Structure 1
Amino acid sequence: MKKLLVAFSLTLFISAGFAQEQKEKTETVTLTIDQAVEYALKNSRTLKSNDIDLEMKKRASNVSWNVFLPTVQATGTMSRANDFTPGTGDIIASAMSKLNNNEVPLPTDFDKEEDRWKTVGNVSVSWNFSLAYFGQIKAAKAAYEGQKITWEQSQKETITNVKKLFYALFLQQENLKIQKSTLENARRRMVQAEANFKSGLIPEISLLQTQVNYENTKPTVDSAEQTLNQQFDTFAFLIGLPVGTKIELSGSIEPTYIEADTDDLLAKYGDRDLSIKSLENNIKAIKIGLQALDLSTWTPAFVLSYGWQPVYIGDDGAFHFYKGLGKDDDWFDNGSLSLTLAWNVTNMLPWSSNRQQAKDYRQNLAKLEISLDMLKENQKVQVRKAVDTLNQAKQQIENMERSVQLAQKAYDMQLRSYQSGTTELLDLRDSENSLNQAKLGQLNQKYQYISALMDLENTLNVTLTGSGNSTVKN
């Protein structure tokens, strides 16, 4: 019975946890545009990956001086000789005995097993220096600067994408509302037509037309709603929310207008373009690499090395070297000090791989300079295009403001007629639908203006309005 109660309690606990998890998944998250941007900056997986890349480049730049660190190595070795090798002293003694007609043969074997073993310690310090190392340090610094530009680009692109999708979702929501309103009007017309047909007021063909219109409108509305849900999933993924989270957008689109002139913008902010800065940094990095390669080719490398190699040759045998630690006669130093200048002559030959690599550097440098010129020209095209879009969208917004006013006036008239009983409900709904369409058209032009302004600010890497490129009224 006790086990049954425990199992039942565990089942209730798991069920409660599952219910809570489902509740969390279906809970609606309300976001303003600023909250969405802030959430994306904190939770975007792409930005987190870029943070790691930036930290790696920063660390490499901070410790780039480590190319000057010496190489220090300590080893201890015990070795066993397979065969006896006479030493220099043995050879000299044998030769001298021959001169004295008292020939002493060279030793050919070990007296005991321990004689075959040798204990050797080794501590070595090596320090290399080349003028090319300075180029490697500069290259690490340039790589860090390039990664900072990439990180900033990613930040700005994420913010722009979040804002654009936020506004686009607003448009889709408003459009879906109008489509649903149109669908409801079509349904009401169909119901009214059925009643009129039964009363003999209209022919059957008129009834069929209203039914066809209603049935044709339903798939369009369902498709628009499905597309909107998919866009919300994309938005959730973009800002780092779990896919499937129900999101409610808070705010409305209101652009902040600016006076923009292409030539003035390019003159003031043309050199701030992050894409141009990134390419200029790449050019700088290639020049540094070419300089380092030339230095390694035409200047020698200096190597300073010192080794301390204690060898035990005491009478106690190699296995008892610790007994002779205090006896200077049992140990000798086989180490040395060396200073070396190394110069690779082969790398100086014009057809060597080193000189071919230098030619590749120069050709890649020429290609990047061409790309830089193209990028600057493309910048002019993009700025001019954005300015034209801003001016056109602003004009369209002003024109459509008059359309909204006329539609509003027509709706107000229909509403008064309906209230006085001289206009049917469906006529009022048609007038309301026309008003919504006019408002949606104006809203779409506002989105076009904001989108073009964001593109312009991204291209020039500048904020052209006092508090961002748009305001959201909550």
Structure 2
Amino acid sequence: MRRIFPGLFLISLFCAADSVAQETVALTLDQAVDYAIKNSAAARNARIDVEIQQAKNREVTGRTLPQINAQGKYQNYLDPMKTVLPGDFVGAPGTSVIIPFSVKHNANLGVTGSQLLFNGSLFVALQARDALMEMARNNAVMKEEDVRVQVIKAYRALVIAQRQFEVLKSSIAVVRKGNADLQATYQAGLVEKLEVDRNSVQLNNLESDSINTANGIEVASQLLKYNMGMEVNTPIVLVDSNLDGPVADADKLLLRDLPYENRTQFNVLKSALRLQEYDLKRYRFEGLPTLTLTGNAGYNYSAAQFDALVRARYLTSSFYLFQLDIPIFDGWQRRSRVKQAKLNVEKAANDLENARIGIDFQTKSAKIALTAALQTLESRRRNEQLARSVYDLTNKKYAAGVGSNQDVILAQGDWLNAQNNYFIALKSLLDAETDLQKSLGLLSK
């Protein structure tokens, strides 16, 4: 059993040497959350989605601006199309001549511009830009909320695991000292070997538990860094190790109640409803005429020889036109799209109403869970204090020679079990508090 801790010591030295080149990062809870918002993949992708939506909106705006294109074209008739004409056209009556429609080499340069003057669907798309941006931003906020919840829970879980490990180390130190005293007493022939073995068994169990807890701390640390988007080999130190503040504020949270608009999920569904209404309006406006202005100007060159093309006399051309497209009958396609859009609006309204009910349910459930967690934590705290009192009294009786070592071992085991139950209840309370904060919309910024 004595070889266990030297082995852990060597592992710790190896890990320390491996990370010596990396600077340890000290993190408060707020710093961990801020780091995650900036670096986690989910939060970064959510911000990218906002930028993508901005680009899409600029694309829609671009459709309202003039569209200008330049074109250059060269055409070589390897065998021009021909026609047969009477010779009278060329002063040879009674004969026929073959005349090509075009000379061999042709080129033209031109510029075409168009301006959309009115289009019902585009008009609605312009109106929907703000709603689309609001939707993208709300989705980003919702992603960030999820990141905050994950980081807060992981941070506090790591703090609790570290506190558990400190308790185990203290208990091991006490048991190891008692074991050394028992060994000396046994060597003097004052106690039986059975008591020494019992104490050794307890020490072995505690050391085994400490190894498992140390492994749990490492896993919890990796989980926290993963949720933060931090390199997992970066050494970190948690600064906010005192959890009394969140525990003291938990009961105050039960009195909070905020409007639905504080919930990001509700705002996302509101934006979705607005977008469905714009979609319905867009299909209705498809029945309106579309008016477009188009203009063109260009140069045309023709020559029988290619080298003469650049010296050939050019011909100019230009025009502009107004084009009015009036939809008359499309086989009731637009009517079907309008009906689908109406049903989608109805579905979105149902989702929004269901979100109200769901938020009420989530908030009520979270408050019930937090209330139960507060009661459980208080019960576990009293039980831990009582178990510690029993252990202290049993230890004093044993030191005075009126108790047995077996009673001390049992009392210490009960105390450690009570401490473990307290830490479990503490984590449940902190998780319930975080869930209620999210349900109330307190984690959105």
**Common fold: TM-score over 0.5:** yes
Seq. identity, %: 18
The answer for the alignment partner of 2:324 in structure 1 is: 341
Among 211, 215, 230, the alignment partner of 2:219 is: 230
Matched length: 424
The structural deviation recorded for 1:144 is 1.5
Partner AA of 1:24 in structure 2: A
Rounded to whole Å, the distance in 1 between the matches of 2:395 and 2:198 is 27
Distance 1:20 1:144, change over 3 A: farther
Quote how far apart the aligned CAs of 1:133 are: 0.2
Deviates more, 1:230-239 or 1:49-58: 49-58
| C-alpha displacement of 1:68 | 1.0
Contact 1:194/1:207 (<8 A) preserved: no
Q: 1:449, 1:421 → 2: CA distance?
A: 42
Cα deviation for residue 165 of structure 1 reads 1.0
From the superposition, tell whether residues 187 and 412 of structure 1 become closer, same or farther in structure 2 (CA, over 3 Å).
Answer: closer
Cross-structure match for 1:289:
279
Q: Report how far residue 36 of structure 1 moved.
A: 1.7
Counterpart contact for 1:279–1:368, Cα < 8 Å? yes
Q: Is the partner of 1:74 in helix, strand or coil?
A: strand
Segments of 5+ residues of structure 1 without an aligned counterpart are: 1-18, 325-329, 469-474
Deviation at 1:184, TM superposition (A): 6.2
Asked if 1 retains the 8 angstrom alpha-carbon contact of 2:145 and 2:443, the reply is: no
Q: What are the within-5 Å matches in structure 2 for residues 391-430 of structure 1? A: 391-403=371-383, 405-407=385-387, 409-410=389-390
By how many angstroms is 1:388 displaced? 1.7
Quick one: which of 433, 453, 459 aligns to 2:439?
459
Partner of 1:332: 315
How far did residue 146 of structure 1 move? Answer: 0.8
What is the distance in 2 between the residues matched to 1:239 and 1:84? 71
Residue 280 (1) aligns with residue 260 (2): no
**1:168·1:447 contact (CA, 8 Å) conserved in 2?**
yes
1:291/1:106 CA distance change after superposition, 3 Å:
farther
Amino acid at match of 2:322: L
- What's the TM-score, normalizing by structure 1? 0.74
Q: CA deviation at 1:270?
A: 2.5
Correspondent of 2:430 among 432, 447, 450:
450
Amino acid at match of 2:99: T
The two structures, once aligned, show a CA RMSD in angstroms of 4.2
8 Å Cα contact 2:384/2:419 also seen in 1: yes
Inter-CA distance 44–345: structure 2 relative to 1 (3 Å threshold): same
Q: Is the 8 A contact 1:178 1:433 kept in 2?
A: no
Which of 355, 363, 366 aligns to 2:346? It is: 366
| Deviation of the 1:307 alpha carbon | 1.5
TM-score (ref. length: structure 2): 0.78
Tell me which moved more, 116-125 or 32-41: 32-41
Which structure 2 residues correspond to residues 55-454 of structure 1 after superposition, within 5 A? 55-62=51-58, 64-85=60-81, 94=86, 102=93, 105-108=96-99, 115-128=103-116, 129-180=118-169, 192=182, 196=186, 199=189, 201-202=191-192, 219-250=208-239, 251-254=241-244, 255=246, 256-259=249-252, 265=257, 268-296=258-286, 298-313=287-302, 319-323=307-311, 330-347=313-330, 349-350=331-332, 352=333, 354-403=334-383, 405-407=385-387, 409-410=389-390, 438=418, 441-454=421-434
Q: Answer whether contact 1:181 1:433 (CA < 8 A) is retained.
A: no
Paired residues of 1:124 and 1:307 also in contact (CA < 8 A): yes
Q: Which residue of 1 aligns with 2:13?
A: none
Task: Give the SS at the match of 1:309.
Answer: strand
State the AA in 2 paired with 1:302.
L
Residues 157, 220 of structure 2: 8 Å contact kept: no
Unaligned runs of 5+ in 2: 1-15
One-letter code aligned to 2:104: R
Aligned to 1:252, the other structure's residue is in SS state: coil
State the match for 2:48 in structure 1: 52
Q: 1:32 to 1:299 in 2, by over 3 A?
A: same
- Mapped partners of 2:366, 2:306: distance in 1: 84
In the TM superposition, residue 56 of structure 1 has moved relative to its aligned partner by: 2.1
Change (3 A) 1:339 1:86: farther
Give 1:334 shift: 3.9
Distance 1:174 1:222 in 2: 14
Which amino acid is the alignment partner of residue 239 of structure 1? Answer: M
* Whole-Å separation in 1 of the counterparts to 2:100 and 2:208: 101
Instruction: Give yes or no for contact 1:312–1:318 (8 Å, CA) kept in 2.
Output: no
Match of 2:21 in 1: 24
